[in-house]
Structure 1
Amino acid sequence: MPPARPSRGKPSKPHQDSGRALKRKRGQEDLSSLVKRVEELDIKAAVKNFSDLPLSEPTADGLSASHYKVMTDIQSRAINHSLKGRDILGAAKTGSGKTLAFIVPVLENLYRKQWTEYDGLGALILAPTRELAIQIFEVLRKVGRYHAFSAGLVIGGKSLREEQDRLGRMNILVCTPGRILQHLDQTAMFETNNLQILVMDEADRILDMGFQKSVDAIIDHLPKSRQTMLFSATQTKKVGDLARLSLQDPEYVAVHEAAASATPSTLQQHYVITPLAKKLDTLWSFIRSNLKSKTVVFLSSGKQVRFVYESFRHLQPGIPLMHLHGRQKQGGRLDITTKFSQSQHAVLFATDVAARGLDFPAVDWVIQMDCPEDADTYIHRVGRTARYERVGRAVLFLDPSEEKGMLQRLEQKKVPIERINIKANKQQSVTSQLQNMCFKDPELKYLGQKAFISYVKSIYVQKDKDVFNIKELSLEDYANSLGLPGAPRIKFIKGDDTKERKNASWRMAHLSSDEEGSDAEESKKDKKDEKQVRTRYDRMFERRNQDVLAEHYSKLINDDGTMVAAGAGNGAGEDADEDADFLSVKRRFEAGDAGLDQVDSDSDDSEGAKEVKKVQIDGQEPLVIDSKRREKLLKSKKKLLKFKGKGTKLVYDEEGNAHEVYEMEDEEQFQARGDAKTQRERFLEEEGERTRRADVEDKEVVREKKREKKEKRRARERALAEEEADSEDGGIQLPYIPFKDPMESASEPESEPELVEAPRPSKKARVSFTAQDSDDERPSKSKKSKVTAEQISSLQDLEALASGLLG
C-alpha cells in the first residue's frame, strides 16, 4: 500500500521541533531547580562529598570522571560560600586541594547564568608562574570537559597574534599577570566589561611588590561589580591589598589557622648546620646516598641552578638530573616539569619558580640548599612533598650565621623543625674535582663565577639582616668550593666600602697620621727593609722626565689662582721628585660643560699654540678640540652623549617600522587655539606655503645643476676646438660652432655671449636668399633666413645655402 500523501492544507509541526522544545523546557526546569537548591544551601552545614552539593549535571559528571568524590577541608568550607557568589579569602596548607575549591564555583556560577561565547569573558584566573597556570588549566579541562564553555591559557612564550585571534571568543581564561596585561592594553577585540569572577591563586605572591604594578593595571580594566576569590597557603590580610581588589564583605576561610603547625603533619622537617663552603659537598653526599628517591633541590638564583646542574652532570652521580629556572624557554620548562612528574627517581634543581602550587607526584625529599628569604617561602618550598596526606621529608641547609635568625622566623610561623647531623663516614668532597673541571672547561668556570656573584647579590639585597649578613660569610672559601681560582670582584660590595671611606673626615685622617709621630716613622723604616711589590703607580712617580709637559701646560694654575710660571719648579736640572707642588696643581675650567669647549685666551703661550679645531655635532654648538685628550673624547660615544641633544622616543609597530610616539592633545589646549575649521585652514595654508618654498628650492637646485653641466660641456668643446686648430696646417679654417639644443635656450637664463653670432638653424626653418637683418643676432622663428653667396663665411652658411638649393 503506497504511503498517504500529505494534505495540501496547513503543514504540521515537525517532530524534531517538538522534541527540541521539550528538551529546552526540561533544561529550564533543571536550571530553575538548581538555582533554588543553591539558594537553600546551608553555609554552616558540613558537607563531605561532592555529590551532596547542588551541582549541575556537567560538573558532577566531570568530577566523577576525574575520580574526585570526597572533599578536603578547604573545599567543603569554601565552595558553599562561593556558590552563593560571595568573595572568598581562602588559606590552607600546601597540597590541600585549593585548585578545585575555585574551579567548581567558576563552572557552576557561569552555568547558572547560561553563559555563552557571545557573552564574552566570564571568569579570569591569575597565577604567578607559567607552570602553575598550566596545572590549573589541566584541572579545568578535566572537570569541565562536559561543559560548553570555551577556555584558554595565556602565559606568554607563544605568538601574540595567534592569541589575539582567539581571545575574544573565550569564556574562561587562565593566565599570568604580565601576558594578560599585554592583551588588555593591545588587543582591540578583548573586552572585560562583562567579567563575573576574578580568581587569584597564590594571591600573596601576586599582590607583593614583584607584581604590584601589573595587578593594579589589570584591576583598572576590570569591572568593580564582580565576585573575587583569593587562595594561598600564606594568605594576605593587608587592608591595602583587599581595598585594591574592591572586595565586598569577604569570607575568610582559614581551615588550618588553629592547627599546631603551618605545614602538613605528615611532613618531617630537619635542618643541617653546614658552612657555606661545605654546602656543595653535603649536597653531593646526600644525592649519592639517596639514589632511589625523588628529590627537589631549591637554590636562590638561576645561575646557581645552571652551575650546580652542569657540574653534577659531569660528575655523574648515578641518577637523572634536571634543572628548572625562569630563563628557560616555555617549551623546555614544560618538558622538564612533565618529565620530572613522570620520573620515579630523579633530582630537580630549581629556583622559586617551582616553589608555589606545582603538584609533582610522589616527591620524597625537598632540599633547600640556600636559605629562603622568609618563612612563607620556606612553607611553599616544603609544600612540594607530603601532599594530600602523603608522607614527605624536608632538609634545610643553614650557615652558622643564619641559624639563630631563621629558626626564630620559623617558630613565629608555627613551623616545627629539628636539627640533624651528618655522618662523617658518608661525607664526600668534590672540591678538587670541581677545580679540575673548571681548569679544563672555561665555560664551566664562567658559570661558576656568575653563580658566585648571583648568590652574593641575593644575600646582599635581602632586607632581613638578622638572617642574611654578608660580612659574616667566608666568600673566599665559598669561591674555592665552586672550583674557582679566586673570588670574583663584586662591584656592589666594593661600592659600599667606598661610601664608608668617603664619609670619613679627610682632616681627621691626616691628624691621626700626624699624631702617630716617631712610632710610625720607626715602623716605616722596618717596612723598608722588607721586600715590597712595586706597582705601576710607584714606577710612574719614579720617572725623571717629569719636566716634559704637553702643549696645554700653560693652562695649569696654582691653588691661589695665579698662572704657573713657565719652567718654574720643573727646570731641566731639577728632579721631579723635589717638586712639592706637583699634586696641588689643577686645571681650571669654567663651571659646567661649557668650560670644556672654551680655549684659555689668557694663556701666555696662546700665540705659539697649535691651531684649534672645531667639530660640529648634530646641530649643537661646535666642540673645540684643543688637546689630545679632547681628540680621544671624539672616539668615545658615551662621553659624546652630553654634547648631543636629547633624542626622541621611538616605538615599533608590528611590522618592525619605527615611528615617534603618537600622543593625543588635551581638549582644552586644542580649543584654546581656536575653532577646528580655522585651525584646519591655517594648517592647509602653512603646508601650502611650505610646499611652495620647497618647490622653489628644488627648482633652484635643478637650475644650478643644469648650469654646472652646461659649463662643463662648453669647457670640453673649447678644449676640443683648440686641439683641432693646432692639428690643421693649411687650407681654409672654419670656426668651430658647438651644437646647441634649441630647447635649452628657452629654460636657461642669458649667459656669456656665444662664440659665433649665427647659431645653427633648426631643421624646420625655411631658407631664402635674402639678406639677413644686421640687428638680429639670432634668426627668429617668425623671420625667414636669407643667405646669399657673398655672405658664406662659415660651414653653417654653406649648409643653409645647400639646403636652399636642394629645396
Structure 2
Amino acid sequence: MVAPSVTGRTRPTKVKKHASAQKRKRDDVDVDKLEAAVAGLDVKDGGYKNFSDLPLSEPTTQGLKSSHFAVMTDIQARAIPLALKGHDILGAAKTGSGKTLSFVVPVLENLYRLQHVGMDAGLGALIISPTRELAIQIFDVLRLLGRHGHMFAAGLVIGGKSIEAEQQALTRMNILVGTPGRILQHLSQTVAFNVDDLKMLVLDEADRILDMGFQRDVDAIIEYLPKDRQTLLFSATQSRKVSDLARLSLQDPEYVSVHSEDRTATPKTLQQNYIICPLEDKLDTLWSFIQASKKSKILCFFASAKLVRFVYESFRHMQPGIPLLHIHGRQKQATRLDVTSKFSASKHSCLFATDVAARGLDFPAVDFVIQVDCPEDADTYIHRVGRTARYNREGRGVLFLAPSEEEGMLKRLETKKVPIEIINVRQKKRQSIKSQVMHMCFKDPALKYLAQKAFVTYAKSVHLQKDKEVFKLKEYDLEAFATSLGLPGAPRIKFLRDSNAKQAKQASTAAIDVSDSSDEAEDEGSAANQKAKPVRTKYDRMFERQNQDVLADHYQRLVRDDANESSQSKFSGLDGEPSARDDDDFLAVKRRIPAEADISDIEPQETKHDSSAGHRVVNLPGASQPLVIDSNRREKLLKSKKKLLNFMDKGKKLVYDDEGNPHEVYELEDEEDFKARGLPEEQRQRFLQAAQEVVQKADVVDKATAKAKRKEKIRKRKERERMATESGKLEKDEGGVELEDHGEDLLANFQADAASSDDDEARQEGKRSKKWFDSDSEGEERDSKKRKKGKRKTGPTVEQPQTLEDMEALAAGLLD
C-alpha cells in the first residue's frame, strides 16, 4: 500500500497564489491608531530627526530601511509632518536636499490610512514633473518604498511610449506619475480615466511647471481635478505669486523654506567659478578641460540640441580618451533612458546635455558641471549646477561667460545669493582644435551641415532670450564663432538679415538727407562742378537691367489689346499701319477675331459722365453699386465677363411655399411685428401647441394606415389558406391521395407523369421477358449478340479529310 505522503507527481507541487487576495483591502491595519498618532504630531516643535520618530506604517518603514533612509534632511523633517496632517505645502530647498522623499512618504501614508486601494477606489494621488527623466526617477523612488507591503497600483505615463497600453492600465491606478502633456492627453481622450476622487496633487519642480512653458497644460489639468484635495509644491526656487496659488486652489498653504536664511542659495560643498571666454574660444577651452580631467565625471550644458549633437559628433571623432554621451529633447525616449542609466552607472564619463537634464535628475558622484552656454536666468543656473554636490558631497561648477554677458549675469546671480568667483585658464595647457574641426567639416558634408544648424540654433536661442541686458546679439563675433565650428563663413540667418537691411536702409536715408542739405548750402558754380549723383531706387535698377526683354515683343503682340495699339508706337508705325517688323515676326497677330461670348447681359445699359471729376460711371445690370471708370485698368474690366462678375451682387437662395410664392431661406422678421404677436414665452407656447396638434393629426393618420395594412395582411393570409384548402380537397377527390401544394402547376405535372408512364410501357414491350425454358447462358448470348449488332450498325466514326495526306490515308484504308 502506498504511503499517504507519496504522490504520483514527478515534480514538487507549488502552492497556488490567489491573485484576488492581494487586491483585497487589508484587515490587519489599525487605521485608528495611526490616525491618533498623526493627530498628535507637533508640527511647530520640529524636533523630529529620524524617520522612526514619525508615525509611519509598517510597509513604509520597511521600505525606508531597505533603501537605507534613516535620518531626515531639513526639508523632510519640516514638510513630512505637515503633509501627514493634510496641509497644503509650498516647499523650497536647495538642490540635492531630498525633496522627493518629502512628498513620496506622505502620498503613501495618507492613502494607506484612507485605505484607498483597488480598482474601485480610483485615482488617489497625482504627481506631475516637467521632464520624463524626472518622472521616471520619482516613480523608481515610489516603487522602492512601496514594494514592501503596500498594495497600491502605481503607474507612469510619459511621452514617447504607447498610449494604448497606458489607457488600458489607467483604470486600475491608485497613484500616477507623469508629465503634464501626457496626463492632459489622457484626461481629454481616455474615457475610463476618472479623477473625481483625487486626494493629493503633487507638483515637483513647481516653478518650472507653473511658468509659460506648461501654463496652459497645467491650467487645463486643474479644471479636471476636484477642489477638495491636498496640494504639495516642491522646487529649489519656489514661486510665491498669488496668481499661481489662486490657479492651484491652495487652502492656507504652509511655506516651508529651510534654506531661506542661508547666505547662499547653493550647497556649501559646491565650489563655483566662472571664466571669461569669447564665443569663438569655447570649444577650445572645453576640449582642453576634458583632456585635463579624463578621470572625472563631467556634465556639460549647451543652449540647443543641434549644438549638443555637433559637439558630441566632432569630439567623438577626435577621441578625447573619455566616454562621451549626449542627451537632448529630440531623442527617442528609449535612447534618453539608456543615456541616463549609462551616465549614472559610469565612474568616468562626459555627458553633453541641454536643459532637459537640468532639473531634478540625480546623477551620482558628478565631479564637474560645465555650463558652456550662459543660462537664461539665475534659476536655471541654480538647477544646472545642482546636479553636483548632492547630499553633502563635494562638487564644482564652472560657467563660461562671454565678455558681453559678464556684467549682467553676475548681477542676476548676486540677487539670488549665488557666490561665484572668477578664474583664469592656463594658456600652456590650452589646445586649439579649430583646424581639426574645419578639416572634419571639409571631409564630412553631414558634419558641416550639422555645424550650420548648430550655428543657426544658437543664434536663434540668443535672439529669443528675454533678458537683453545679458544677451546682446550684436556684440557677439558670429563670424569668428562660425570659424570655430569649422565653417568657411557665417550662414545667413533671416532675422539677422532683416535687421541688417533695416539698418542699411536707415543709414542710406540719413546719408541722402545730409547730401541734400549740403547741396542747398553750396552755390550754383560749385554745384555744377560737384554734382551729387541722383538717388537710384530699386525700380530704377529694375528698369535698367539688360537682357530682360528677350521674347518680350513676341509675347506682347500675342496678348496686346486693341485699345492700346494706337498708343504703343513700339508695335505699329506712326501712321497707324503695322510696321515693317510685323512681316518678319513669328506668329504675328494681323487681325483679332473676338470670341462669340454672350455678354449682352452684363453690357452697360446706362452710362453717364461726371464732368467735374473727369470720371465715367457705368451702371451694370445686376449690380447695386455703379462701376467708376477712372483708369485704363478699369476700362479693360468692361471687356472681361469673368472680372465683371466680381462686381455683381451675390445671388439669394429662394424656397417656394405651398402657394408658389418665393421666399428667402433666412428671412429676418421685423422687430415690431415680432412684438405685436405677444411675449416670447407666449409665442413659444403657441408654437408648441400648434406643433402638438400637427403631430396628433399625423399620429391619427399613421395609426389608421397601420391598421389598414394589418387588415390587408390578414385578408391575404386567409385567402392563401382558403385556396390551399380548396386545392387539397380537389386533389383528394381526383387521385384518392392528398397531395401537398407547393405552388406548382398540377396539370403540367400530371401530363409529365403520363408521358413517362407511356415510355416505360413501350420499353417493357420491346424487351422480351425471360421464359421458363430459357437458361441464363442463352440470355447472356442473346444480349451479347444484340450489343455486337448495335456496334456494327453504328460503325467507326470517320473524320472528314482536311488535307491531301488525309485523303491518301483514307483511300489506303478502304483498299485494305
Q: TM-score, normalised by structure 2?
A: 0.64
2:173 to 149, 170, 173: 170
Q: 1:424 to 1:525 in 2, by over 3 A?
A: farther
CA distance in 1, matches of 2:686, 2:348: 75
Q: 1:98 to 1:543 in 2, by over 3 A?
A: same
CA distance in 2, matches of 1:368, 1:556: 73
Aligned position for 2:39? 39
Q: 1:503 to 1:123 in 2, by over 3 A?
A: farther
CA distance in 2, matches of 1:522, 1:78: 87
Q: CA deviation at 1:389?
A: 0.2
CA distance in 2, matches of 1:605, 1:197: 71
Task: Show CA shifts across 1:170-223 (max 9, x none).
Answer: 000000000000000000000101000000000000000000000000000000
Q: 1:438 to 1:32 in 2, by over 3 A?
A: same
Q: 1:232 to 1:555 in 2, by over 3 A?
A: farther
Aligned position for 1:119? 121
**Secondary structure of the corresponding residue to residue 325 of structure 2:** strand
2:170 is the counterpart of 1:159 = no
2:354 to 332, 351, 354: 351
Q: CA deviation at 1:157?
A: 1.2
Aligned position for 1:551? 556
2:294 is the counterpart of 1:286 = no
Q: 1:568 to 1:314 in 2, by over 3 A?
A: same
2:146 is the counterpart of 1:141 = no
Number of corresponding residues: 572
CA distance in 1, matches of 2:370, 2:486: 22
Aligned position for 1:711? none
Instruction: Give yes or no for contact 2:128–2:135 (8 Å, CA) kept in 1.
Output: yes
| Counterpart mapping for 1:631-710 below 5 A | none
2:246 is the counterpart of 1:243 = yes
Instruction: Give yes or no for contact 1:124–1:174 (8 Å, CA) kept in 2.
Output: yes
| Counterpart mapping for 1:212-251 below 5 A | 212-251=215-254
Aligned position for 2:487? 484
**Secondary structure of the corresponding residue to residue 205 of structure 1:** helix
**Secondary structure of the corresponding residue to residue 425 of structure 1:** coil
| Counterpart mapping for 1:273-422 below 5 A | 273-422=276-425
**Secondary structure of the corresponding residue to residue 259 of structure 1:** coil
Q: Which amino acid aligns with 1:173?
A: L
CA distance in 1, matches of 2:363, 2:246: 35
2:181 is the counterpart of 1:181 = no
Q: CA deviation at 1:437?
A: 0.7
Q: CA deviation at 1:116?
A: 1.5
Q: CA deviation at 1:296?
A: 0.3
CA distance in 2, matches of 1:672, 1:354: 67
Percent identity between the aligned chains?
60
2:413 is the counterpart of 1:436 = no
CA distance in 2, matches of 1:544, 1:215: 59
CA distance in 1, matches of 2:285, 2:322: 17
Larger Rg: 2
Aligned position for 2:569? 567
**Secondary structure of the corresponding residue to residue 173 of structure 1:** strand
Q: Which amino acid aligns with 1:73?
A: D
Aligned position for 2:86? 85
CA distance in 2, matches of 1:151, 1:258: 37
**Secondary structure of the corresponding residue to residue 453 of structure 2:** helix
CA distance in 2, matches of 1:673, 1:125: 57
Q: Which amino acid aligns with 1:372?
A: P
CA distance in 2, matches of 1:547, 1:522: 42
CA distance in 2, matches of 1:675, 1:476: 79
Q: 1:113 to 1:512 in 2, by over 3 A?
A: same
Task: Show CA shifts across 1:51-89 (max 9, x none).
Answer: 110001111111111111110000000001000000000
CA distance in 1, matches of 2:322, 2:561: 72
Aligned position for 2:200? 197
Aligned position for 2:545? 541
Instruction: Give yes or no for contact 1:199–1:230 (8 Å, CA) kept in 2.
Output: yes
**Secondary structure of the corresponding residue to residue 38 of structure 2:** helix
CA distance in 2, matches of 1:298, 1:403: 18
CA distance in 2, matches of 1:564, 1:368: 75
Q: 1:405 to 1:544 in 2, by over 3 A?
A: closer
Instruction: Give yes or no for contact 1:554–1:605 (8 Å, CA) kept in 2.
Output: no
Q: Which amino acid aligns with 1:484?
A: L
Instruction: Give yes or no for contact 1:547–1:571 (8 Å, CA) kept in 2.
Output: no
Task: Show CA shifts across 1:365-403 (max 9, x none).
Answer: 000000000000000000000000000001000000000
| Counterpart mapping for 1:762-777 below 5 A | none
Instruction: Give yes or no for contact 1:319–1:346 (8 Å, CA) kept in 2.
Output: yes
Aligned position for 2:621? none
Instruction: Give yes or no for contact 1:555–1:603 (8 Å, CA) kept in 2.
Output: no
CA distance in 2, matches of 1:318, 1:445: 24
CA distance in 1, matches of 2:132, 2:392: 26
Q: 1:111 to 1:437 in 2, by over 3 A?
A: same
2:135 is the counterpart of 1:130 = no
Q: Which runs of 5+ in 2 are unaligned?
A: 1-20, 534-539, 580-626, 648-680, 699-816
Task: Show CA shifts across 1:39-61 (max 9, x none).
Answer: 01111231110011000111111
Aligned position for 1:446? 449
Q: Which amino acid aligns with 2:169?
A: R
Task: Show CA shifts across 1:618-677 (max 9, x none).
Answer: xx9899xxxxxxxxxxxxxxxxxxxxxxxxxxxxxxxxxxxxxxxxxxxx9xx9997699
Q: Which amino acid aligns with 2:556?
A: E
Q: Which amino acid aligns with 2:35?
A: V
Q: Which amino acid aligns with 1:254?
A: S
CA distance in 1, matches of 2:440, 2:328: 24
Q: Which amino acid aligns with 1:90?
A: G
2:252 is the counterpart of 1:259 = no
Aligned position for 2:271? 268
| Counterpart mapping for 1:24-103 below 5 A | 27=28, 30-43=30-43, 44-103=45-104
Q: 1:344 to 1:568 in 2, by over 3 A?
A: same
Q: CA deviation at 1:494?
A: 2.1
Q: CA deviation at 1:447?
A: 0.5
CA distance in 2, matches of 1:285, 1:672: 88
Task: Show CA shifts across 1:83-106 (max 9, x none).
Answer: 000000000000000000000000
CA distance in 2, matches of 1:676, 1:301: 70
CA distance in 1, matches of 2:255, 2:568: 85
**Secondary structure of the corresponding residue to residue 541 of structure 1:** coil
Aligned position for 1:769? none
CA distance in 2, matches of 1:353, 1:512: 53
Q: TM-score, normalised by structure 1?
A: 0.65
Q: 1:353 to 1:547 in 2, by over 3 A?
A: closer
Instruction: Give yes or no for contact 1:98–1:231 (8 Å, CA) kept in 2.
Output: yes
Q: CA deviation at 1:503?
A: 7.3
Instruction: Give yes or no for contact 1:554–1:564 (8 Å, CA) kept in 2.
Output: no
Q: CA deviation at 1:566?
A: 2.0
Instruction: Give yes or no for contact 1:547–1:570 (8 Å, CA) kept in 2.
Output: no
Instruction: Give yes or no for contact 2:205–2:235 (8 Å, CA) kept in 1.
Output: yes
**Secondary structure of the corresponding residue to residue 212 of structure 2:** coil
Instruction: Give yes or no for contact 1:546–1:570 (8 Å, CA) kept in 2.
Output: no
**Secondary structure of the corresponding residue to residue 240 of structure 2:** coil
Q: Which runs of 5+ in 1 are unaligned?
A: 1-19, 527-535, 574-597, 624-667, 686-807
CA distance in 2, matches of 1:382, 1:281: 22
Q: 1:435 to 1:26 in 2, by over 3 A?
A: closer
CA distance in 1, matches of 2:529, 2:290: 58
Task: Show CA shifts across 1:325-356 (max 9, x none).
Answer: 00000000000000110011110000000000
Q: 1:566 to 1:215 in 2, by over 3 A?
A: same
CA distance in 1, matches of 2:562, 2:62: 91
CA distance in 1, matches of 2:329, 2:461: 16
CA distance in 2, matches of 1:139, 1:340: 18
